[in-house]
Amino acid sequence: MKMTSQIGQQLAIDRRRLLTLGAGGVTAVALGGLGGATRAFAAAELVRWVSPRGTVEVLDDYPYWVAKKYGYFGEIQTTLEPGPSDATATVKLVDQNQSDMGYPWPGVFSLALEQGMPLVSVFEMGGSDVFDIALRKGEKPKSLKDLEGKTILLGSAGWQSICDPQLYAAGVDIKTIKYVEAGWPTWGTALKAGKGDAALCWEGLRAQWKGQGLDFDYFLGKDYSKLPANSFVIRKADFEDPAKKKLYARYLQGWAAGLEFGKQNPRAATEVVMAQFPGLASQMTPAVATESMMQLANVFGGRMDERKKWGYHLPSSWQLFFDTGRKIGQITADIKVDDVVKNDLVDEANAFDAAKVKADAAGFAIAPDYQSIDVEAIQKAL
């Protein structure tokens, strides 16, 4: 079964590549002809969102497709564009005014800030850490500290920039870890074959691996890590423009409503995406797709006891990430969370019609292939 989650493409980041970007900017042609890249921004009409994955045919963006189906964006015109597979494109395109909102991992965001890109994060999608450490069944040690001296398999060498902050923040001596690039998309198979002690994984992919017979034990990021996951970023100038700020807040209300719909009816949210992209059905069964979606939803709703609302950033979590990156040398600048992480749009984003969303979710006609899926059992296993 082919993997569909494209986070791995996002993670293949080379720090040198971002830090040596030309001062002249990035053209649409150079970046693979991103659709709509040459359009001017129309504040009253359009919000262009760009993915970091090189594709939008994934379950990860289910809130958007739900919002489109049910009209949660109102009169706002929207595009969801795949962008180039270069992970850093999601920040470069926003910085160069070729897209309006990007979805970077915090490491990409922090490197962009160090490069001098005037961006701010305005909506926290991943309330808890999305990344996990997989181990063969029966070989999971008592603690992450026991990984010291072990070999961790990666799909790309650049993924070390994901593991190091996580493990360091959890008290692991990262200098003792050996990383081996086992290749995309075969690094999970390499772990099963005994070519390493552990492997990087993430929510959504974990369910897909299981569906492929790669059934592992895990240290789940949501359990041991206090670091944030991906968020939505915009230009600082747009954040400081009252009209654009209002537009983005209303746009994010559509995403928040889609997130709430997914919480209310995971099978329905999964079906919406699978109907949008029929090719996904050849890659995942309804049960695997629903479990994958619910793993992602669990991250999106992570630490909600502290966050309270969709999109809210936990300042302490973000400051921990910036400080950790500084300590291990991934960035050289001291980044202050209050300067670049903003919760100003969160209240309006959550001012959607909750009763309508609940009714929409409850009224969705579940297809026969999905009716037998036990979402309560999946939720308990998360």
Segment 262-302, tens digit of pLDDT: 999 999 999 999 999 999 988 999 999 999 999 999 999 99
Q: Is the pLDDT of residue 338 over 80?
A: yes
Q: What pLDDT is stored for residue 319 in this prediction?
A: 97
Q: What pLDDT is stored for residue 7 in this prediction?
A: 53
Q: Is the pLDDT of residue 31 over 80?
A: no
CA 126: distance to chain centroid? 6
Give every CB contact of residue 309 below 8 A, 6+ residues apart in sequence. Answer: 256, 346, 347, 349, 350
Q: What pLDDT is stored for residue 84 in this prediction?
A: 83
Q: Which residue has the higher pLDDT, 242 or 20?
A: 242
C-alpha distances in angstroms, 305 versus 258, 311, 338, 359?
A: 20, 13, 21, 24
In whole angstroms, what is the distance from residue 262 CA to residue 290 CA? Answer: 11
Segment 312-322 shows an average pLDDT of 98
Tokens of 271: 């079906």
Tokens of 121: 């994060």
Contact assessment for residue 75 and residue 19, using Cβ atoms and an 8 Å cutoff: no
In whole angstroms, what is the distance from residue 141 CA to residue 219 CA? Answer: 9
Buried b (16+ CB within 10 A) or exposed e, 296-328: bbbbbbbbeeebeebbbbbeebbebbbbbbbeb
Q: How confident is the model at residue 43 (pLDDT cuts 50, 70, 90)?
A: very low
| DSSP letters spanning 167-180 | HHHTT--GGG-EEE
Q: What pLDDT is stored for residue 18 in this prediction?
A: 41
In whole angstroms, what is the distance from residue 364 CA to residue 376 CA? Answer: 18
Structural domains in the chain? 7-127+229-381 (3.40.190.10), 131-224 (3.40.190.10)
In whole angstroms, what is the distance from residue 53 CA to residue 8 CA? Answer: 8
Rg (CA), the chain: 20
- Closest to 50 (Cα-Cα) out of 102, 86, 92, 98: 102
Segment 121-179, tens digit of pLDDT: 999 999 999 999 999 999 999 999 999 999 999 998 889 999 999 999 999 999 999 99
Q: Of 155-164, 191-200, 325-334, 362-371, where does mean pLDDT reach its minimum?
A: 155-164
CA angle 25, 164, 159 (to 5 degrees): 55
Q: Is the pTM of this model over 0.85?
A: yes
Segment 55-70, tens digit of pLDDT: 899 999 999 999 999 9
C-alpha distances in angstroms, 145 versus 16, 17, 43, 148, 226?
A: 29, 32, 50, 6, 16
Q: Do strands 46-50 and 101-102 pair parallel, antiparallel, or not at all (unpaired)?
A: parallel
| Sheet hosting strand 46-50, strand order edge to edge | 77-81, 46-50, 101-102, 231-235, 119-124
Tokens of 298: 């669990």
Q: What pLDDT is stored for residue 169 in this prediction?
A: 96
Q: What pLDDT is stored for residue 83 in this prediction?
A: 84
Q: What pLDDT is stored for residue 53 in this prediction?
A: 84
Q: What is the DSSP letter of 41?
A: P
Mean pLDDT taken over the chain: 90
